[in-house]
Amino acid sequence: MTVKKEMSPDTVIKLRFDPSDTADVVYQRFNAKVQEVKNVLEDTSFGALAGAFLGPFLWGLYSGRVSRAAVWASFIVGVGLTTGNMVMGFFGTPLIASPINCGALAMVISLVIVPVVSLFTKAVPFEVDSPHAEGAIDREYVQELERELARVKEDALHPGAEGREGSASGGEDVQDGEQEGEQTPLGAL
């Protein structure tokens, strides 16, 4: 007897069992087949993504000479190899039996394709700032202080423009006991 379970329009799980099999045995066989299909799809997707992105990512980090054509070649080979292997497995025997091994091969090929294709094609110019101890929040804080300082200087040059938008006081009310210059942390500047 054959049991078919439709998982999606393209996936059919076939399960054979004897009339003497218990429900527990059928359930275990069915779950094993479902897990097998899931593993193939997960392994194939991992291999396709890793094979497509590993070469451009690593060479892009450490080389300033990566071309757009090299990235596309890596994407095409990585995804093409793993999905082609998966499709061949659906219709017969795949080129590489394990989807994980196919993904590993796609990653190695990607690491080779990117520099080779980049040698023969025009590189994309980009600048990379070298890492430094100052983080993004520190830079944003410094930029905010510089903008505030520019507003204070602008107000000092044009003292009659306190009520205008964008001034250091910003049209805010002065609290009791405060003077106009004490509202900003850069008031002393």
Q: What pLDDT does residue 141 have?
A: 82
What was the pLDDT predicted at 113?
A: 94
Q: 51-80 pLDDT, tens per residue?
A: 888 889 889 888 878 889 999 999 999 888
Per-residue pLDDT at 89? 81
Q: Is 30 left (phi over 0), alpha (psi -120 to 50) or beta?
A: alpha
Q: Phi then psi for 119, rounded to 5 degrees?
A: -65, -30
Q: How far is CA 116 from CA 71, 78, 102, 106, 182, in A?
A: 11, 15, 21, 15, 62
Q: How confident is the model at residue 20 (pLDDT cuts 50, 70, 90)?
A: confident
| DSSP E strand stretches across 39-187 | none
- The pLDDT assigned to 7 comes to 52
- For 161-180, what is each residue's pLDDT tens digit? 655 554 444 444 445 544 55
Cβ of 97: how many Cβ atoms within 10 Å?
11
pLDDT band at 21 (very low <50, low <70, confident <90, very high): confident
pLDDT in the model for residue 22: 81
183-187: average pLDDT: 51
Q: What is the mean pLDDT of residues 40-59?
A: 82
pLDDT tens sequence across 98-152: 888 888 898 999 999 999 999 999 887 766 666 666 666 777 888 888 999 999 9
